[in-house]
Amino acid sequence: MQRTDVNTLGEFGLIEHLTKDFPIRQPSTIKGVGDDAAVIDNGGLCTVVSTDMLVEGIHFDLAYVPLKHLGYKSVVVNLSDIYAMNAFPRQITVSIAISNRYSVEALDELYAGIRAACDAYGVDLVGGDTSSSPRGMIISITAIGQCEKEKLVYRSGARPGDLICITGDLGGAYLGLQLLEREKRIWQENPDVQPDLESQKYAVGRQLKPEARKDMIETFRKDGLKPTAMIDISDGLASDLFHICKQSKVGALVEESGVPIHQEAQLLALKFKLDPITCALNGGEDYELLFTIDPTDVDKVKYLPDIYIAGEILEAKDGIKLNTKGGNLHDLKAQGWVHF
Amino acid sequence: MQRTDVNTLGEFGLIEHLTKDFPIRQPSTIKGVGDDAAVIDNGGLCTVVSTDMLVEGIHFDLAYVPLKHLGYKSVVVNLSDIYAMNAFPRQITVSIAISNRYSVEALDELYAGIRAACDAYGVDLVGGDTSSSPRGMIISITAIGQCEKEKLVYRSGARPGDLICITGDLGGAYLGLQLLEREKRIWQENPDVQPDLESQKYAVGRQLKPEARKDMIETFRKDGLKPTAMIDISDGLASDLFHICKQSKVGALVEESGVPIHQEAQLLALKFKLDPITCALNGGEDYELLFTIDPTDVDKVKYLPDIYIAGEILEAKDGIKLNTKGGNLHDLKAQGWVHF
């Protein structure tokens, strides 16, 4: 029997391969696989569903991630997918599997973080499952949101001429991870050395306690702005822009000078001898929003804080390019995070 | 710091402990933790959501479970929770984490089983997630159904005088598991001995390829029958009856002579020197329905095939009892399956 290694397909290739033969036959299924979330129309408001699984040793390292932060982040990354549909999360389910090395007190910490996220974003915990695992911890969260059908924003709606917008700033979460990994190595080599993370609070915070952009979706509603396409930046700007371009069948031009990078992230990148723009393009885990708007809507975002216009949607034939500060045009590459 | 072992609380105690401080604040949350599924009202039909996580080495053993069967069963057990709300499943999401010992071909087998279940029950795969795991396979499935609000059936609706009904027959899945475990031990001791499972097709089939009782919910609709309470029998009749009694604040009397046990399961139990009624009460994984009906509805079920009246709901103070074939009254104990 043939044996094809899963690495050969990559995460997105594998999902595409595994799900390609599944038909959609329910009239209530508005959107299936291939966006930030699925959309279901049972009459009334649409139900928006997204799910994520986090595995110890792959997605998180309890050597430096406090359980409370892990609980908080596990919820936030799922809510981010709901906001990226221009929808509001309302409920979550949480399933966990744990080995017997975890105590009830450890789980209490995890759930305190989950509860803090529920409080901060106003969502209800409505179900889940707990079981044991032979090793490590696995967390699977499903977020459920609601949205008027006509207000939903998909990855597929970008058109040539649309402006590319980014909220917040990028690269910080990736650099925070580099820092935590470095401190872990130092600590493993010499357990007497205490980590020095105080001076890099910003980047560490971006990694350990990210927030989803609820505020942005509220602002869009208030200002009557509907993006033409949207995705949350979980895999890095480049990879997530590729998703929009692929689904919308368009190309894109990103201006390096328009990509927002926090000053502390800039400095930290240099410390690690990394190019800040590479961290912003390929770092991931910032959970900011990448969206496109019709150029006639530019006045609606121009004066809003924390939104940056970083480029323009092109025809598909023009490819996906980065215009560097030095004035050179490069092909953008979607490296993202590879978990396999 | 105190360290309480998770075993001390048990699965249900642990879920209760972890979720007790979570408030419900969304008006769309009709039912949260504590039933077969959560219920969300976004206007129109209600959305019913259930989720389950299956961990290799805990919930399944690939030594004797073919991947295709595993995919099928993983879906079916989730659909069963939706039917147990008197609702119809319409969509699923599937998240998997796998170690690199699994090939694309192995995943194709798993997804062929998932697809077969989607085909058989008419549900759409609408989302999910794939990632790697340091060891073994983890599958997390969320099932999403729909139901008119007034047709939903909860665990909490049973009243004294209601009749206790059971679909299908019980104990087979548990005995199938005993058989597979025995064959595995024999094979481990002597790999030349081929397993002899042909003569026990029934029990092995109940374990490896269970079905959810879609047909029953369709029958209820056709006959205008609405149970007063319902649950699917995943942990064993005793444990699941306890859930109904606890949520409904009632007691129950089960007649041993009314508990349906397949003839092959009877014989197999004797072979294993097990009491057939114990297998039916505590075995689990049969995915039949346990429901209660108003006594005035008795004519609606009396002539239906595959429904057995097995007892009566009592006042809470009367406890939960089994009347044996010998005429003795015993307290029922909810042993169920303990995964910790």
Distance of alpha carbon B48 from alpha carbon A82, whole angstroms: 18
Distance of alpha carbon B18 from alpha carbon A49, whole angstroms: 23
B340 Cβ neighbours under 8 A, 6+ residues apart: A100, A131, A132, B6, B7, B10, B11, B14
Q: Tally A–B CB contacts below 8 A.
A: 287
- Please report residues of B whose CB lies closer than 8 A to that of A113: none
Q: Give me the interface pTM, i.e. the ipTM.
A: 0.93
Task: Place A339 in a pLDDT band, splitting at 50, 70 and 90.
Answer: very low
When the pLDDT of each residue in chain B is averaged and rounded to a whole number, the result is 93
Q: Where are the alpha helices (DSSP H) in B84-125?
A: 104-121
Task: Place A335 in a pLDDT band, splitting at 50, 70 and 90.
Answer: low
Nearest-Cα residue of chain B relative to residue A46: B42
- Please report residues of B whose CB lies closer than 8 A to that of A155: none
Distance of alpha carbon B266 from alpha carbon A103, whole angstroms: 41
Q: Read off the pLDDT of residues B36-74 as tens digits, 9 standing for 90 and up.
A: 999 999 999 999 999 999 999 999 999 999 999 999 999
Hey, is A305 helix, strand or coil? coil
Q: Which of B21, B23, B339 is the closest to A132 by Cβ?
A: B339
Q: Which of B7, B59, B91 is the closest to A38 by Cβ?
A: B91
Distance from CA of A60 to the nearest CA of B (A): 11
Nearest to B76 by CA among B87, B64, B89: B89
Distance from CA of B87 to the nearest CA of A (A): 13
Instruction: Please answer yes or no on whether A14 and B107 come within 8 Å at the CB atom.
Output: yes
Q: Which of B6, B44, B127 is the closest to A50 by Cβ?
A: B127
Distance from CA of A42 to the nearest CA of B (A): 5
- Please report residues of B whose CB lies closer than 8 A to that of A51: 93, 95, 127-129, 140, 142
Which H or E element spans position A274? none
* Residue A8 pLDDT greater than 90, yes or no: no
Q: Is the dihedral of CA B207, B209, B215, B217 positive or negative?
A: positive
Which H or E element spans position A88? strand A88-98
* Residue B79 pLDDT greater than 80, yes or no: yes
CA A322 to mean position of chain CA atoms: 21
Instruction: Please answer yes or no on whether A122 and B49 come within 8 Å at the CB atom.
Output: no
Task: Place A279 in a pLDDT band, splitting at 50, 70 and 90.
Answer: very high
Instruction: Please answer yes or no on whether A26 and B93 come within 8 Å at the CB atom.
Output: no
Q: Read off the pLDDT of residues B98-115 as tens digits, 9 standing for 90 and up.
A: 998 999 999 999 999 999
Determine the pLDDT at residue A197: 72
Q: Which of B17, B47, B125 is the closest to A40 by Cβ?
A: B47
Percentage helix, strand, coil for chain A under 3-state DSSP, each rounded to 5: 40, 25, 35
Q: Which of A4, A93, A105 is the closest to B142 by Cβ?
A: A93
DSSP line for B131-185: EE-SSSEEEEEEEEEEE-GGG---GGG--TTPEEEEES-SSHHHHHHHHHHHHHH
Q: Read off the pLDDT of residues A11-32 as tens digits, 9 standing for 90 and up.
A: 788 888 999 989 999 999 999 9
Q: Read off the pLDDT of residues B110-133 as tens digits, 9 standing for 90 and up.
A: 999 999 999 999 999 999 989 999
Task: Place A115 in a pLDDT band, splitting at 50, 70 and 90.
Answer: very high
Instruction: Please answer yes or no on whether A42 and B37 come within 8 Å at the CB atom.
Output: no
Tokens found for residue A291: 């969206």
Q: Are B235 and B336 in contact (CB under 8 A)?
A: yes
Q: Are B252 and B313 in contact (CB under 8 A)?
A: yes
Give percent above pLDDT 70 in chain A.
98
Which H or E element spans position A90? strand A88-98
For the residues B284-313, what does the mean pLDDT come to? 95
Q: Which of B5, B53, B108 is the closest to A103 by Cβ?
A: B5
Distance from CA of B143 to the nearest CA of A (A): 11
- Please report residues of B whose CB lies closer than 8 A to that of A118: 22
When the pLDDT of each residue in chain A is averaged and rounded to a whole number, the result is 93
Long-range interactions of A59-65: CB distance < 8 A, separation 24+: A59/A339, A59/B131, A61/A180, A61/A184, A62/A137, A63/A184, A63/A187, A64/A180, A64/A183, A64/A184, A65/A208
Distance from CA of A88 to the nearest CA of B (A): 11
- Please report residues of A whose CB lies closer than 8 A to that of B31: 126
Which H or E element spans position A41? none
* Residue B313 pLDDT greater than 90, yes or no: yes
For the residues B162-184, what does the mean pLDDT come to? 95
Instruction: Please answer yes or no on whether B6 and A146 come within 8 Å at the CB atom.
Output: no
**Pick among A74, A140, A141 to test the B interface (most B CBs inside 10 A):** A140
Distance of alpha carbon A278 from alpha carbon A35, whole angstroms: 25
Instruction: Please answer yes or no on whether A98 and B6 come within 8 Å at the CB atom.
Output: yes
Distance from CA of B27 to the nearest CA of A (A): 9
- Please report residues of B whose CB lies closer than 8 A to that of A131: 11, 53, 55, 58-59, 339-340
Distance of alpha carbon B228 from alpha carbon B247, whole angstroms: 12
Task: Place A200 in a pLDDT band, splitting at 50, 70 and 90.
Answer: confident
- Amino acid letter, residue A302: K
Query: CA dihedral defined by B277, B279, B284, B290, rounded to 10 degrees?
Result: -10
Distance from CA of B328 to the nearest CA of A (A): 36
- The Cβ-side half-sphere exposure at B87, using a 13 Å CA radius, reads 33
**Pick among A9, A22, A56 to test the B interface (most B CBs inside 10 A):** A22
Q: Are B233 and B282 in contact (CB under 8 A)?
A: no
* Residue B339 pLDDT greater than 70, yes or no: no
> Hey, which CATH number is domain A6-151, 3.30.360.10, 1.25.40.420, 3.30.1330.10, 2.60.40.1530?
3.30.1330.10
- Please report residues of B whose CB lies closer than 8 A to that of A56: 134
Sheet of A250-255, strands arranged across: A229-233, A288-293, A163-167, A307-315, A250-255, A320-323, A329-331
- The Cβ-side half-sphere exposure at B318, using a 13 Å CA radius, reads 16
**Burial label, B302 (beta-carbon count in 10 A; 0-12, 13-18, 19+):** exposed
- Please report residues of B whose CB lies closer than 8 A to that of A45: 42-44
Nearest to B32 by CA among B51, B10, B54: B51
DSSP line for A172-203: HHHHHHHHHHHHHHHHHH-TTSPP--GGGHHH
Q: Read off the pLDDT of residues A285-330 as tens digits, 9 standing for 90 and up.
A: 999 999 999 999 999 998 889 999 999 999 999 999 999 999 999 9
First to last CA, chain B: 22
Question: pTM of the prediction?
Answer: 0.95
* Residue A338 pLDDT greater than 50, yes or no: no
For the residues B1-30, what does the mean pLDDT come to? 89
Give percent above pLDDT 90 in chain B.
84
B272 bridge partner residues: none
**Pick among A47, A98, A121, A235 to test the B interface (most B CBs inside 10 A):** A47
Nearest to B279 by CA among B241, B237, B245, B320: B237
Domain ranges in chain B are 6-151, 155-331
- Is A201 or B55 the better-scoring residue by pLDDT? B55
Determine the pLDDT at residue A336: 47
Instruction: Please answer yes or no on whether B105 and A1 come within 8 Å at the CB atom.
Output: yes
Task: Place B199 in a pLDDT band, splitting at 50, 70 and 90.
Answer: confident
Q: Which CATH class is domain A155-331?
A: alpha beta
Task: Place B7 in a pLDDT band, splitting at 50, 70 and 90.
Answer: confident
**Burial label, A207 (beta-carbon count in 10 A; 0-12, 13-18, 19+):** buried
- Is A192 or A68 the better-scoring residue by pLDDT? A68
Determine the pLDDT at residue A337: 41
Hey, is A105 helix, strand or coil? helix
Q: Read off the pLDDT of residues B243-284 as tens digits, 9 standing for 90 and up.
A: 999 999 999 999 999 999 999 999 999 999 999 999 999 999
Determine the pLDDT at residue B335: 64
DSSP type of residue B201: H
Task: Place B337 in a pLDDT band, splitting at 50, 70 and 90.
Answer: very low
Q: Which of A108, A124, A131 is the closest to B24 by Cβ?
A: A124
Determine the pLDDT at residue A27: 96
Nearest to A265 by CA among A335, A200, A190: A200
According to DSSP, the β-strands at B307-315 and B229-233 are: unpaired
Q: To which residue do tokens 């032979």 refer?
A: A134
Q: To which residue do tokens 């110890």 refer?
A: A56
Instruction: Please answer yes or no on whether A38 and B131 come within 8 Å at the CB atom.
Output: no
Hey, is A130 helix, strand or coil? strand
Distance of alpha carbon B270 from alpha carbon B246, whole angstroms: 33
Distance from CA of A328 to the nearest CA of B (A): 36
Q: Are B307 and B165 in contact (CB under 8 A)?
A: yes
Distance from CA of B217 to the nearest CA of A (A): 18
For the residues A234-256, what does the mean pLDDT come to? 96
A164 Cβ neighbours under 8 A, 6+ residues apart: A241, A252, A254, A290, A291, A292, A309, A310, A311, A312, A313
Query: Distance of CA B151 to CAs A26, A174, B148, B246, Å?
Result: 20, 49, 5, 22
Q: Which of A25, A45, A103 is the closest to B6 by Cβ?
A: A103
Nearest-Cα residue of chain B relative to residue A31: B126
Determine the pLDDT at residue A102: 93
Distance from CA of A161 to the nearest CA of B (A): 30
